[in-house]
Amino acid sequence: MRALRIYIGVGAAALLLAGCASGPSGGGAARSGSGGGYYQNDGPPDDENIDLDAIPDAVPRNEPLSRYGNPSSYEALGKTYYVLPSAAGFTQSGRASWYGRQFHGRRTSSGEPYNMFKMTAAHKRLPIPSYVRVTNLDNGKHVIVRVNDRGPFHDGRIIDLSYAAARRLDVVATGSAPVRIETVTPATLRAEDNQRNAQTVRASRSSTAPTSTGMANVAATEDRDTVPAARPASRPAPARPVPVANRGNAGSPDGDLYLQSGAFGSASNAQNMRARLGDAGFTRVVIVDPDTTTPLYRVRLGPFDSQRSRALTQQILSARGFAAREVDR
């Protein structure tokens, strides 16, 4: 039987479900709400003078799922939780809490010992291990953590952070904070790096572009990609359409939600980009012609029926190496 960490709210005792041979497996550790101590004598280490800069973010890797902690479903405190088969494209907003010294060294749901000085976290549904970027919505600070434990089971909490991660996000003193979490993988990080590099190149081109040689030259300097003008006479069969997010319709309340995957000075480059997206399985790809405000052909996907639908497709585009910028029309 797996060990699960159980978290109870202010004023209640922390209940621990013990494994058959492993003993307790972590517990909730947010600070009690109004200046009190920490639950079950939990809290920061005796010496809080740690060098946070010396503790790196977790580095996403393509890992096999843990032998422990990944049943299709499990029960905790009378509730049933269903573990997601994949973390791809997952995002969530809510409150984060943290746990510390009381559980340092104890077994987590992954079978690994909890280390309060590593960038780790507990989540109720994400597969173990997963990697997520956690952003504190109060101050904009963010870290990448490795999910290797289950919890928190307190209502209104979506993730339990290690002490080190909570310190980096300035959550320790308050006990909890509003956060957004989103899955990160080696592929999404590479896509983010490529996008940042492309933005740097575009900014450099813009700073040196002529200002009075006409619209055609300006458009040429702002091409986002160079796409071969001619496509092979025979190409592989198109991939199956991506089965998420492209379900938008123009009549929906959020029917003006789009993703932009490129902006080009020539129509042929824009058409080639649309063909590349189609070959990759993406549907509802449109080209917006130049207008008086933007002298570029813009390749967009959409419209999407919700912000979440757009965010899921953005994750998939980035993972496949395409640029994906949110735009509203």
Q: Lowest-confidence range among 26-40, 131-145, 273-287?
A: 26-40
Calpha distance 224→194 (Å, rounded): 12
pLDDT of residue 32: 35
- Residue 200: pLDDT band by 50, 70, 90 thresholds? confident
What backbone phi and psi angles, to 5 degrees, belong to 112? -85, 150
pLDDT of residue 23: 33
Residue 298: CB partners within 8 Å, gap ≥ 6?
A: 260, 262, 263, 264, 270, 287, 288
**Residue range 8-47, pLDDT digits in tens:** 332 223 333 322 323 333 334 443 333 334 555 677 776 7
pLDDT of residue 168: 94
Residue 201: CB partners within 8 Å, gap ≥ 6?
A: none
pLDDT of residue 1: 36
User: Domains in the chain, start-ordered, CATH in brackets?
Assistant: 39-184 (2.40.40.10), 187-328 (3.30.70.1070)
Residue 9: CB partners within 8 Å, gap ≥ 6?
A: 154, 155
The token pair that represents 238 in the structure block? 């198109």
pTM of the predicted structure, to 2 decimals:
0.54
Calpha distance 307→316 (Å, rounded): 15
- Residue 67: pLDDT band by 50, 70, 90 thresholds? confident
pLDDT of residue 277: 87
> Would you put residue 156 in left (φ > 0), alpha (ψ -120 to 50) or beta?
left
DSSP-assigned states of every residue in 264-290 = ESSHHHHHHHHHHHHHTT---EEEEPP
Cis bond upstream, residue 290 (ω within 30): no
Over 80: is that where the pLDDT of 238 sits? no
Which residue type sits at 317? L
- Using DSSP's 3-state secondary structure scheme, residue 168 falls into helix
In whole numbers, what is the pLDDT of the chain averaged over residues? 76
- Please compute the mean of the pLDDT values over residues 39-68 and round it to a whole number: 82
pLDDT of residue 210: 57
Over 80: is that where the pLDDT of 310 sits? yes
- Count CA atoms within 13 Å of residue 131 on its CB side: 17
Calpha distance 76→124 (Å, rounded): 10
DSSP 250: T
- Please compute the mean of the pLDDT values over residues 82-87 and round it to a whole number: 93
- Using DSSP's 3-state secondary structure scheme, residue 203 falls into helix
End-to-end Cα separation, the chain, in angstroms: 53
The token pair that represents 98 in the structure block? 């943290």
SS3 of 77-144: the string is CCEEEECCCCCCCCEEEEEEEEECHHHCCCECCCCCECCCCCCEEECCCCCCCEEEEEEECCCCCEEE
pLDDT of residue 80: 93
